[in-house]
Chains A and B, each alone.
Chain A
Amino acid sequence: MVKRTLVILIVILLSIFSLASTLSMIMDVTGPFSQNFNPFFSGGTNYSARGFIYETLFYINGYTGEVVPWLATDYSWSSDFLEIDVTLRQNVKWSDGNNFSVDDVIFTFNLIKNYPALDSGGVWQKGLKEVIKVDDSQIKFVMSKVDTLIYTDLFSVYIIPKHIWETIADPTSYTDSNPVGTGPYVLGQFTSQVYTLQKNQNYWQKEKVKVDTIRIPAFTGNDAAQLALMNKEIDWGTLFFPNIDDIFVKADPKHRGYWLPEGNPVLLFFNLDKDVFKNSDFRKAIALGINKQQLVEIGMANLATVSNPVGIKGGFSYLENDNLKSMWYERDVEQAKKIFTNLGYKLGKDGLFVDSKGNKLSFELIVPAGWTDWIAVSQVLSSQLKQIGIDALVSQVDFGLYLERIKNKDFELAVSWVNYGINPYLFYERWLHSRNAFSGDNRGGWNSITTDSLLDIFRKTSDERERQLAISSLQLIGLQEIPSVPLFFNPTWFEYQTYNFVGWPNAENPYALPTITGMDKAFIIMNLEPVK
């Protein structure tokens, strides 16, 4: 037995060292794999189909927002913004050798029209009316209403081969176990504990792909995954990793790095349906009680980025209105207390404000149970608010119940997030548009006709100047009215080591967003070079 163990050990050690042209990555910590590569659904294996196996018409860079030609080479709007002409790339082949054509694209869009369950970008609901073949290299998207941001959704649909999917009886329950795509990789070997992707020899930009094989092992828990990363068994990690500097990087700073770009913003939401929060001075006073730097330092182990009061990410700082910067607020305990006093509240002996009826200003602050970093943030927040005379009781609520209570307006304060999307326009729309009130990302329920009409400008024009004017006015609303308080941006977890491959994106070279859910990972892998 000892001998066999030793033999196996040596075999394994040897195989680790002979992996030079193989890149190992952690796709998602979700347990054993099922052979499910349907690109229209979410999950570890599905994510690897997106970008590595199937591709979109354009690649929209998640960090810069740049639209990069991919399966299509060019697009143009009609003057009334109701049509987009798209030119497809020639000489693209499916991995089974068939030619990629206009018909595949039209088939894909009609498929997600007939099966709304597959339309994860909601393009047919947003006003797409028809997809027309112009000739062998051109298609025309026809819209029923003006929406100048719809291109981001149209260009993010994964194109599937007509000759295979037209024979599938029910594509919504199709696991696509042997996917045929246009992308850089094809499925190699598959077991429930590990699978490999092999370079696609028919790929249209084959010369850019220098990683021959991608190995993706299954992980059930973070502990083993972190140790595997530490053990150099993994080149590309997407793990939650507290103390990352001390534990991971310090052991070999030359070869190890991480980059935690700004993910979705986390905000403090007021339930604007409750009378007490309808007063903007009251909201302002609470906002003045918050020390965001401290929230990030203690609650997020200093691994998150503090948000400015207008919620605009660093990459888009050109959209910040400089004239409004004098209104950007900082923690100011005295000012906050003054506002409460002016509003008629009295400071009690215990340091908390009471209203005219003698009720304490005491609110429940809800946060999803088990989200340890956010819970820590909420606790720090609660102690900060106590200093301005507000009692915020942190209450951990089961995630499903948490979402339901927000939807039903059954909360007072909530720490929650907004999906940022690919640019601040989408963020503002989700955050403040009344159609997203409570049920969508507008969790506090901000409802204002002025705000809505400013937000609607984004989708009515393609003139960047007009959009910038609108977002300036919206920043003013955010600073004056304080519908909710932007706190910080959640980190996007990304770790890399350069023992086998170099060329990773990082803070010095932020060429793409290191997320694994979409096309970005394919773009990144084409920027990697094996170490000789």
Chain B
Amino acid sequence: MKYLRDKIMFFLIALLSALIINFILPRMMPGDPAERILMKMGGEIQPEAVDAMKIALGVDKETPLLQQFFSYLKNTLTFNFGISYSYYPVPVKDLILNSLPWTIGLVGISTLISFVLGTSLGIRAGWNRNKPIDSFITICSLIIRGFPYFWLALILLYIFGFLLNLFPLSNAYSTHEFLKGWKFFGSVLYHGFLPGLTLVLASLGTWILTMRNNMVSTLSEDFILVAEAKGLKDKDIMNKYAARNALLPSVTSFGLSLGYIVGGALLTEIVFSYPGIGYLMYKGVTSQDYPLMQAIFFIISLSVLIANFMLDFVYMFLDPRTRG
């Protein structure tokens, strides 16, 4: 029980620190939100519009920092994120609800596929260490990992989207007609394929290499030798003895990457013009949109912390030693 209590305390302290940092950091940015938003383009906007915008955003008057902090705490904990500056007067909640499902769908599914695929390939490679199949998998994953993934995305978009015309160039579903039901679902899958492929390829190499290296070091442990001496089947040793132990570090990174899913994938979103939280966050930061930035950072910290918290339980289940 002590284990559980410690973990809950840690969770609460970490959450509070995240909340405080989340409040302070954006306010250390130099400049003025109204100007950032309106002058972005070298200004087709009249100077008078900046004054009007300042009044609308409420940044024409100084509010004491402490007062800002308490209203921020109250609003954040009640999930009332206020009105966005850069998409004024759209509520931040609506913006996030517009983007978050797409991000979770795209990044979530690709992370899962990449983890399952990468880990099982890693197990294979580690088991057959120093054989041709191992070298092949390892070299391939090193090469894939070496690609900057936005560049990979650009190449895929250019070849399969533009030259061969096999996949759409942009957006999350057809923008030529307003589809419903299964047709809409099909269109979403079709549009999500290339961005998804990019994300899977981008992280596959890391999963493979982590798992392979863990496998190799686990296989040199004494209990594996014992298991072999006992005459157990290779398949059992590989899956039940070696892989289960080697999996722990990979599960940790997987848990963490689940938490980071809500952070989106900025460059993929930009290349494929895919709606998602990554772009929203970028937009929030570049236009000093405090409400939007704070809401997204809060959601990210919350989900990373929750993922961590859950992970501790999974650990209790996977590794009896932590139950101590």
Q: 1/0 per position for B264-292, CB-CB distance to A under 8 A?
A: 00000111111100011001001010000
Instruction: Report which B residues bind A (CB closer than 8 A).
Output: 29-32, 35-40, 42-49, 51-53, 55-56, 83, 86-90, 94-95, 98-99, 154, 157-158, 161-162, 165-166, 168-178, 186-187, 190, 269-275, 279-280, 283, 286, 288
Establish whether residues A36 and B90, one from each chain, have CB atoms under 8 Å apart when the complex forms: yes
The reply to whether the CB of A328 lies closer than 8 angstroms to some CB of chain B is no
Q: Which residues of A contact B154 (CB under 8 A)?
A: 223
Q: If A218-B273, A417-B42, A430-B47 touch, does A403 touch B52 (CB 8 Å cutoff)?
A: no
Interface of chain A residues 172 through 199 with chain B (CB within 8 A): 172-175, 189, 191-194
- From A34, A173, A191, A430, contact of B178 by CB (8 A): A191
Q: Are B273 and A116 in contact (CB under 8 A)?
A: no
- Does A400 touch B at the CB level, under 8 Å? yes
Of A9, A32, A403, A430, which contacts B275 at CB under 8 A? Answer: A32
A498 interface residue (CB < 8 Å to B): no
Whether B89 lies near A122 (C-beta < 8 A) is no
**Assembled-state Cα–Cα distance A120/B40 (Å):** 17
Q: Are B44 and A517 in contact (CB under 8 A)?
A: yes
Partner of A403, one of B39, B171, B269: B39
- Contact indicator B271/A224 (Cβ below 8 Å): yes
Interface contact A117-B53, CB-CB below 8 Å = yes
A125 x B48 contact (CB < 8 A): yes
- CA–CA, A411 to B230, complex, Å? 78
* Interface pair A12/B168, CB less than 8 Å apart: yes
Contacts of B47 on A, CB cut-off 8 Å?
419, 430, 436, 440-441
Say how far A389's CB is from chain B's closest CB, in angstroms: 31
The answer to whether A12 and B30 touch (CB under 8 A), given A42-B38, A400-B288, is no
A8-B186, A217-B170 known; A116-B46 Cβ under 8 A: no
Contact B274 A194 (CB under 8 A): no
In A109-143, which residues have CB < 8 Å from any B CB?
Answer: 116-122, 125
Stretch at the interface among A226-234, A307-315, A332-340: A226-234
CA distance A228 to B175 in the complex (A): 12
Q: Give every chain B residue within 8 A of A221 (Cβ-Cβ).
A: 269-273
Determine if B55 and A116 form an interchain contact, defined as CB atoms under 8 angstroms apart: yes
Residues of A within 8 A of B283 (CB): 30-31
Contacts of A191 in B (CB 8 A): 173, 178
Count of A interface residues, CB-CB < 8 Å = 71
Residues in chain B near residue A231, CB distance under 8 A: 162, 169
Q: How far is the CA of A220 from the CA of B158 in the complex (A)?
A: 17
Interface hits, A7-65 → B, CB 8 Å? 8-9, 11-12, 15-16, 19, 30-32, 34, 36, 38, 40-43
Distance in Å: Cβ of B196 to nearest Cβ of chain A: 14
Known: A220-B269, A440-B47. A116 touches B52 (CB 8 A): yes
Please determine whether B170 and A515 come into contact, CB atoms closer than 8 angstroms: no
A233 to B168, CA, bound (A): 11
Contact across chains for B187 and A215 when beta carbons are under 8 A apart: no
For residue A515, which residues in chain B have a CB less than 8 angstroms away from its CB?
Answer: 44
Taking the nearest CB of chain A, how far is it from the CB of B252, in angstroms?
A: 32
Could you say which of A12, A34, A38, A173 contacts B174, with CB atoms under 8 Å apart?
Answer: A12
Closest partner residue, chain B, to A117 (CB atom)? B56
Contacts of A192 in B (CB 8 A): 98, 275
Known: A30-B283, A228-B169. 10 other contacts (CB 8 A): A16-B176, A34-B94, A119-B52, A120-B52, A217-B170, A218-B171, A221-B270, A224-B272, A400-B288, A490-B42
Which B residues are CB-close (under 8 A) to A223? 154, 157, 270-271
User: Could you tell me the distance in whole angstroms from the C-beta of A443 to the nearest C-beta in chain B?
Assistant: 12
A34 and B95 contacting across the interface, CB-CB below 8 Å: yes
Does any Cβ of B come within 8 Å of A401's Cβ? yes
Contact B46 A419 (CB under 8 A): yes
